[in-house]
Amino acid sequence: MTTNTAVQTSTIHHDGVTISMSRGGHGRPMILCPGLNSTQADLHELVGLLRHDYDVVTFDLRGHGLSSAADSYLFADFLSDLTAVTSTQQRIQPEATPVLVGYSLGADLAVHYASEHPGSVTELLLIDGANPVPEPFITATDLPLFRALWEQQAEHQETLRGTPRQVLLTAQEILDLNVQLDGIRARILDRYRTIDRPITMIMSAAMAGDSSQGRALNQNWQAGFDRLVQDQPQINTFRIDADHGLVLTHAPQIADIIRTTG
C-alpha cells in the first residue's frame, strides 16, 4: 500500500480480477461506488469534497479505471466487486458501519447490497440510479440508437486507454448490461421494501438532456422517480437541474446534500 497526499491506495484480488481502491479523509466511514463508464478519477471532485467530512473508500469496478479487465460484465459480477470492497472495509474497521453511496449503476448495486446484507450499512445515498422506471429504456425501436451511441463512446474510450479514466467494456457489453439493468429496475421496488436504513435519493431533472429522444427518456425517468416516492414516502429525495453527468457538473451541490442528510 502506498500513500499519496494522505490518500491510501490498495488492490483487492477476487473472482479473477484486481480491484483498485483508495481511502482517505476524516470522519465517519463511507464507501462510494461509481457507475458504469465512471471511475474514481472521474469522481475526484466529489470524493475530495466528501473527504472533508468522511473517511471515504472508493474504487474502480472491473474493466474500469485502474481495475483489471474481466471475462464477464453482468450485474452480478459488478455486485461482487462492491461486496469484495465492503468485506475488506469490514475487516479493516470491524467496529464501524459505513455509509454507502452509489452513482448510476452504483446506486442499483448499493440497493441490492443493502437488501442482501441487513445491518451492514448505516444509510444509503443514491445518485441518479436505482430508479424503478415503469418502461424499459432500451426498446426494439431504440436499440439502433443506443448501439450507435455506445459504439461512439467505445471509440472515444480508445483515447483513454491506459489512463485512470479508461473503460475496457465493448459497446456490446455495455448494451447487454443496460438491457439486463432494465429488467432489474423493473423489480427493484421489492429490494427497497426490505431495507430498514435511511435512504436519500438525489435525482437529475433531465437525465438524458433536452433532445427529442431525451425528452421521452426523461419522462420515463421522472415516472420512475414518482413511483419510488409513492411506494417509499420515507425516502429523502432531491432533484438537481442537471443531466446524468450531475456528479461531474454539480459535485459541490451533491456534497452539500450528503453532508446535511448524512
Nearest 5 degrees, angle CA 53-CA 56-CA 59?
155
Question: What per-residue confidence (pLDDT) applies to 239?
Answer: 96
Nearest of 80, 77, 75, 91 to residue 129 by alpha carbon: 75
| Residue-level pLDDT at 231 | 97
User: What are the DSSP calls for 225-261, one per residue?
Assistant: HHHHHHH-TTSEEEEESS-TTHHHHSHHHHHHHHHHH
Cβ contact 235:224 at 8 Å: no
pLDDT at position 4, please? 39
Q: What pLDDT band is residue 1 in, cutting at 50, 70 and 90?
A: very low
What is the enclosing helix (H) or strand (E) of 19?
A: strand 17-25
- 3-state SS string over 131-160? CCCCCCCCCCCCHHHHHHHHHHHHHHHHCC
For residue range 165-204, list pLDDT tens digits in order: 999 999 999 999 999 999 999 999 999 999 999 999 999 9
Handedness of CA 153, 49, 87, 59 (dihedral sign): positive
* Cβ neighbours, 10 Å, residue 127: 31
A 10 A CB-CB count for 134 gives 11
Extract the C-alpha cell encoding 224.
420512475
Are 47 and 103 contacting, i.e. CB atoms less than 8 angstroms apart?
Answer: no
Q: Which helix (H) or strand (E) holds 48?
A: helix 44-50
Distance CA 106, CA 109 (A): 5
The pTM is what? Answer: 0.95
Cα-Cα-Cα-Cα torsion 36, 190, 141, 71, nearest 10 degrees, comes to: 40
CA-nearest of 81, 107, 86, 105 to 96 is: 86
Q: CB-based contacts of 201: which residues, under 8 Å, 6+ apart? A: 126, 130, 225, 228, 235, 236, 237, 238
**% of the chain with per-residue pLDDT over 90:** 82
pLDDT above 70 for 2: no
Q: Express as a percent the part of the chain with pLDDT over 70.
A: 97
Residues 6+ apart with CB under 8 A from 130: 102, 107, 108, 110, 111, 185, 188, 201
- Residue range 2-261 forms a domain whose CATH class is alpha beta
Higher pLDDT, 2 or 9: 9
* pLDDT tens, residue by residue, 112-157: 999 999 999 999 999 999 999 999 988 888 788 788 888 888 888 8
Tell me: pLDDT of 3 over 50. no
